[in-house]
Structure 1
Amino acid sequence: MTISSTARVATDRPARYGKQLASHFSKKLATEWDAAEGRGHLTFTGDLPGEVGMIAGDKVLLLHLETAPEHLADLEAVVGRHLVRFGARDELSVTWRREGGEDGVVVTTADLED
């Protein structure tokens, strides 16, 4: 059984951050970023399996995560922390919303100061 979660990350540079996530994770995961389409994905395997789709829109990077329920919060946090760290100068924040409307993990620049 899988469950999904979505985050709409407001940014003036959604394609840049999508590409950066794919590039960063490509060292450990199967990733893809199509600059012409403004789309990509991350495929997590091993202890934390799941798929993250990324779409660069007009001033928003849409993230759609699918995984087993027991991995959802961890993957939300991992992807969120990396994206917020990359976008710290732009003060990005990532707020996940799970299927059914339940709140997911929220990551802001303040969380990186720990």
Structure 2
Amino acid sequence: MSVSIARVPTHSASRYLQQLAKHWSHKMEVSFSEQEATIAFPNGASLEMRADSETLDVRLAVPEDGDVARMREVVASHLDRFAFREAPLTFDWQVV
């Protein structure tokens, strides 16, 4: 697995986390609360998010044969859609 993390500055982290989780719950396995979400993608990738008052922490795990750049873009573009008032959000992706 290739694991990428990002700390996204926003005061609306909980709202965006919940919106994305609800949006993807129709197509994927999703569990979430106001502060945490886990999303399992059909391609074997997984997304974990944690919200606090100032940031949204994102952890994206992609299988070795997966397209990491594309999965990062999918996550970022969907979150930007929900954050249209402050988009684009800043994703400083780091590989761990």
Greater per-residue strand proportion: 1
Matched, 1:9 2:16: no
Counterpart for residue 109 of structure 1: none
SS at match of 1:90: coil
* Count, aligned residues: 95
Gapped runs of 5+ residues in structure 1? 101-114
Correspondent of 1:41 among 27, 38, 41? 38
User: How much identity, in percent, do the aligned residues show?
Assistant: 27
Matched, 1:89 2:88: no
Residue deviations 1:46-90 (CA, integer Å, cap 9, x gap): xx3301000002310111000124321111111110000110112
SS at match of 2:77: helix
Q: Which amino acid aligns with 2:20?
A: L
**Runs of 4+ off more than 2 Å:** none
> Which protein is bigger by CA-based radius of gyration?
1
1:12 Cα deviation after fit: 1.0
TM-score (ref. length: structure 1) = 0.75
* C-alpha distance in 1 between matches for 2:74 and 2:90: 11
TM-align CA RMSD: 1.5
Q: Which amino acid aligns with 1:63?
A: V
* Larger RCO (CA under 8 A, 6+ residues apart): 2
Whether contact under 8 Å (1:56, 1:62) holds in the other structure is yes
Gapped runs of 5+ residues in structure 2? none
1:94 Cα deviation after fit: 3.9
Whether contact under 8 Å (2:31, 2:38) holds in the other structure is yes
Greater per-residue helix proportion: 1
SS at match of 1:80: helix
TM-score (ref. length: structure 2) = 0.88
